[in-house]
Amino acid sequence: MTAATAVGVDRSLGYACPRCRGAVAADASEYVCRACGARFPIVLGIPDFRVFPDPWIGLAEDREKARALAERARGASLEAMVRTYWAMTPATPPAQANRFVEHVMQADARSGEWIDRLPSLPTARAAAWLDIGTGTGDLAVAAARRGETVVGVDIAMRWLVVARRRAELAGASVDFVCCNAEHLPFADATFARATAVGTIEHLHDASLMLRDTRRVLRRGGDLHLRTVNRYTALPEPHVGVWGVGFVPRRFADRYVQWCSGQRYEHHRPLSARELRRELRSAGFDRVRVDAAAMMHTERARFADRGWAVSAYDRARATPVARGALRFVTPLLEASGVVS
């Protein structure tokens, strides 16, 4: 058995150095780039190809937290593991932590419904999906349970430990890799499809992420995004503050602090126009940006405002209204194809 096989790493993925894109070789504890000599550790069986850390936590601290979480939650249910994580993160208020737990536990149904709405793959099913910003792995697991070969990547090693547990409990086979979305550690033309739900608004450089995603997609492959709209008419969902997107980005953190006492350092939602421009600049064709369809799992939250849901559905179904809706909708869906 090779070292790569021993840690559950699939060589057919075509790993490449995220710094120089050179070939990498694995031993039992790390990957080494043959071209530039960069070294990337394997932590808890998960390759760590990060070029820079999660903005919320340093590399060493994240790895240590992942190890502690894996040890404390060994054999636990998914919910118990997520609750263990938040117990290890006491700076998060209990009410907010409970909302995060609920969000994670509802994610299976939400992601499964979204995947079922996607068009059929334009290329052979044998090629893998790439789920960017996989978080706790709900979308990657949902796709794997539908027969897809899936790779989930995220900047947070601690969340990938949770994602792997979700996959284990679901009986799903998913490869998880820790890396930056802007510097993907894969060879060109590796994947048939890429997805990113709730990811692009958290990136330091969305344009770089889109260019690198296009690089790793095969000809005919597609990208599907779901993201917060910068100019939403509703409160910004991460902080619950109105009008954040209309404030110049350099003042947004200060504005959110003034309104709510929260920070807004690492949130950069795009508008419909910005998202369309970035996708085209990255080289995607057949670009579409639209108001996101409201899924059944989301409608339950608006049970007391059925009139608003009905109005939203009617607007999406009307071409003129749909065009206007994308500028103020809370969520955007976007897609592009590699020709």
Residue-level pLDDT at 8: 40
The average confidence (pLDDT) of the chain is: 91
Q: Cβ–Cβ contacts within 10 Å for residue 197, how many?
A: 23
Region 35-39: mean pLDDT is 96
Q: Specify the pTM.
A: 0.93
| pLDDT tops 60 at residue 315 | yes
When pLDDT is cut at 50, 70 and 90, the band that residue 10 belongs to is very low
pLDDT tens digits for 111-160?
A: 999 999 999 875 555 679 999 999 999 999 999 999 999 999 999 999 99
Name residues whose C-beta falls within 8 Å of residue 337's C-beta, 6 or more positions apart in sequence.
122, 220, 221, 222, 223, 284, 285, 286
> Residue 295 pLDDT more than 70?
yes
Phi first, then psi: what are they for 102, rounded to 5°? -60, -40
DSSP 140: H
Rounded percentage of the chain residues whose pLDDT exceeds 90: 76
Tokens 């994602």 identify what position?
163
Q: Percent of the chain, pLDDT > 70?
A: 94
Q: What is the pLDDT of residues 169-205, one digit of tens each?
A: 999 999 999 999 999 999 999 999 999 999 999 998 9
Please check the confidence at residue 230 and state whether its pLDDT lies above 90. Answer: yes
Instruction: Please state which of the four CATH numbers 3.40.1390.10, 2.40.50.140, 3.40.50.150, 3.20.20.70 is assigned to the domain occupying 3-230+269-337.
Output: 3.40.50.150
Residue 305: per-residue pLDDT = 72
| Predicted local confidence at residue 125, as pLDDT | 54
Query: How far apart (Å, rounded) are the C-alpha atoms in residues 181 and 209?
Result: 5
β-pair type (39-43, 174-178) = unpaired
Q: What pLDDT score was predicted for residue 123?
A: 56
Picking from 193, 195, 255, 254, the residue whose alpha carbon sits closest to that of residue 227 is 195
Q: Which residues are paired to 154 by β-bridges?
A: 178
